Amino acid sequence: MFFAIFLYLWQGILTESTKKYKLHNMIEICDKLLSCDDKVAGNIMNIVNNASEKIRNGQRLDFVEALALYQSDDLLKLASLAQIVKERKSGHNVYYNVNRHINLTNICVSGCPLCAFGCTAEHEKAYVMELEDVIRIVRRTALDTPDISEIHMVSALHPDKPFSYYEDIVAAVKEFLPNVHLKAFTPVEIVHFAKISGQNIRTVLERLSAAGLDSLPGGGAEILDDSVRKIICPNKATTAEWIQVISTAHALGLPTNATMLYGHIETVEQRIRHLITLRDIQDQTGGFQAFVAFPFHPANTGFTGLQRVTSWEDLKMIAISRLVLDNFDHIKAFWMMLTLPIAQLSLAFGADDLDGTVVEEKIIHAAGATTKTGITKAEIISLVAETGYHAVERDTFYRPLERASGE
Ligand code: SF4
């Protein structure tokens, strides 16, 4: 069934650039294979075959195996392997939630070249929400979206707002929506709060938790390699700082997601190492709930000369993530970044979560995303039903809230 869906959708979604990329890739692979001696080509095939066998037996992939699978470029093989793992983890369920994003400000001290969202206070797009603005949004959300289960709040690093501003906002959100989960602040923001408040990471997290913070979204990981971070985001949290915040949050009982931003200056090897770093952390803490890979959108960033990676690459990343992250229960396909057709197709490549209704989003759209800024529950349910899987509305901890018919 998925194979048929895949072929049907694939015909429709392949862009000209994707076709050129694929053709170029095929030629390159043929060239490589022709210039390799049979022994080397045979070894690569052996690695891929052994890796496939390990996946079927529920064994862990190492770096070389993950890289060989990625470079084998066999999308259908990756899909069928990733689907085995996905169905082992979550059966025929595909999760979504009813959530709302809030981005408090876009005024940022960091000035990351990768970013299209952050700006200076003087910029014509600059905005900052005061406590009353957030309360107004939260009140309206409570009226308009009674079945909301999660508020997702991430923002830029404002130069002047004190730490108490964030504590007050957390407390206000929880006061007006006491039964709604508050997932807020990337590790990058937590490091910023530590700097502006003169407190350590643990204290910052403890104080936010006391104010009502329930979990962290895990953004800002980009690629966990400082040689890459120095170029794409030189002023924000380092690899070690990102890991420190995540590990401390997990130790305090605050779960997080894990993320990756791919398709800019990083190598495939750095992507695989990033996944293995996350897997190592998960072995130690068990605090990650889901992994989300974001394709880089270059528009309006310092990397406008780059092309957005192809849908082919997006699906490979979803599948490889599912295969490497054997200790993660969920792989999320963030429809807003991927587009709805690719997010739907990614359910055949190991993803088991489509994120949520979102309602309003500013960060990704600042970088040129052309997707909608929100969708309805009915649209998500219908999207999942078309794949033959079951749409399950979940809370932030993946507990089913309601079983929708996906048949
Ligand atoms: S990526 Fe985050 S920290 Fe960097 S400029 Fe954008 S909003 Fe600021």
State pLDDT tens for residues 143-158: 988 889 999 999 999 9
Q: Is the CB of 336 under 6 A from ligand 1?
A: no
* pLDDT exceeds cutoff 60 at 30: no
Q: Is the CB of 112 under 6 A from ligand 1?
A: yes
**Contact in structure between 292 and 259 (CB atoms under 8 Å):** yes
* Distance in angstroms (rounded) separating the CA atoms of residues 355 and 332: 6
Atom of ligand 1 nearest to the CA of 109: 8
Vertex 252 angle, CA 250 and 258, to 5°: 20
State pLDDT tens for residues 353-363: 998 877 655 55
Q: Which residue(s) pair with 96 in the sheet?
A: 393
Distance (Å) from CA 370 to ligand 1 centroid: 20
- Determine the distance from the C-alpha atom of residue 169 to the mean position of all C-alpha atoms in its chain, rounded to a whole number: 25
Distance (Å) from CA 21 to ligand 1 centroid: 30
Provide mean pLDDT across the span 332-346: 92
List Cβ neighbours of 315 (8 Å cut-off, separation of 6 or more). 75, 78, 79, 342, 345, 346, 349
Q: Copy the structure tokens of residue 226.
A: 């400082």
Distance (Å) from CA 192 to ligand 1 centroid: 11
Unique residue bearing structure tokens 């690629």: 223
pLDDT band, residue 125 (cuts 50/70/90): very high
pLDDT of residue 336: 85
CB count within 10 Å of CB 298 equals 19
Q: Could you say which of 3.40.1190.20, 3.50.50.60, 3.40.50.300, 3.20.20.70 is the CATH number of the domain covering 93-403?
A: 3.20.20.70
CB count within 10 Å of CB 158 equals 21
Give the CA count within 13 Å in the CB-facing half-sphere of 60: 11
State pLDDT tens for residues 377-397: 888 999 999 999 999 999 999
Distance (Å) from CA 107 to ligand 1 centroid: 9
Distance (Å) from CA 347 to ligand 1 centroid: 30
For the chain, domain boundaries: 93-403
**Contact in structure between 242 and 218 (CB atoms under 8 Å):** no
Q: Is the CB of 389 under 6 A from ligand 1?
A: no
Cα–Cα nearest to 280, from 63, 58, 54, 53: 63
220: alpha, beta or left, given left = phi > 0 and alpha = psi -120 to 50? left
* pLDDT exceeds cutoff 70 at 9: no
Minimum CA distance residue for ligand 1 atom 1: 115
Provide mean pLDDT across the span 205-216: 98
List Cβ neighbours of 102 (8 Å cut-off, separation of 6 or more). 129, 134, 137, 151, 152, 153, 360
Q: Is the CB of 110 under 6 A from ligand 1?
A: yes
Rounded to the nearest integer, the mean pLDDT of the chain is: 88
Q: What do you get for the CA distance between the two ends of the chain, in Å?
A: 13
Q: Is the CB of 221 under 6 A from ligand 1?
A: no
* Distance in angstroms (rounded) separating the CA atoms of residues 8 and 322: 23
Q: Is the CB of 364 under 6 A from ligand 1?
A: no
Minimum CA distance residue for ligand 1 atom 4: 112
What is the dihedral sign for C-alpha 279, 281, 284, 290? negative
Unique residue bearing structure tokens 């993803």: 351
Compare 183 and 6 and report the one with higher pLDDT: 183
Please name the amino acid found at residue 115. C
